[in-house]
Amino acid sequence: MNQSVVLREMGRIVQPHGIGGELKIAPETDDPSRFQDLKTIYVGSSRETALSFDIMSVRLQPSKYGITVVVGLSGVVGRDEAEKLNKLTVYAREDDLPALEDGEFFFSDLLDLDVQLVDGVRIGKVIDVIEGRGQNILLVAREGLPNVMIPMVDEFVVEIDFDLDLITIDPIEGLL
């Protein structure tokens, strides 16, 4: 794939749907309807190995976890073909996504940012962002200590500075 193409994670394939080759995707976006505007997605175990698929059909389906995206992809015919893509990550070209508003960011932009307390004490690095129904959570790896989960709420996350690759937090006592 062309190195100038930036892929953004959109979700994960959770299982085949039916016998015709459709796939169920757990979206990792605040707006699953974005899938309806895409003509192509990329599927793979990483951005570097993802393969391009034209989207033939998209529908949004309510589930107990929120919204599931059901897609039909070109070249994926039958359940056996769909099974080959099961559990892989789904990406979209950044150029194919709507522009971000001021203050908006992709969760993947938070990965590897340093996390520090308001007094400057370094806590660790962001290794994952867990999407929740009520709030999202930063998973922070700490050196020599267990990972810690920091709720992404204004009361705890004081500042996200992408220029400094730094998140400043002010947690309540006992959180760390």
pLDDT of residue 104: 82
d(CA 91, CA 101): 20
Label each residue of 18-68 as H, E or C. Answer: CCCCEEEEEECCCCHHHHHHCCEEEEECCCCCCEEEEEEEEEEEEECCEEE
Q: Are 9 and 97 in contact (CB under 8 A)?
A: no
pLDDT of residue 1: 53
Sequential pLDDT tens for the chain (176 residues): 555 788 999 999 999 999 999 999 999 887 899 999 999 999 999 999 999 999 999 999 988 878 899 999 999 999 999 999 999 999 999 999 988 888 888 888 899 999 999 999 999 999 998 877 678 899 999 999 999 999 999 999 999 999 999 999 999 887 88
The domain made up of 7-96 is a member of CATH 3.10.150.10: no
Query: Which pTM was predicted?
Result: 0.75
d(CA 37, CA 97): 8
The domain made up of 107-169 is a member of CATH 2.30.30.240: yes
pLDDT of residue 168: 97
Q: Where are the domains of the chain?
A: 7-96, 107-169
As a whole number of Å, the end-to-end CA separation of the chain is 41
d(CA 49, CA 26): 20
Q: Is 107 helix (H, G, I), strand (E, B) or coil?
A: helix
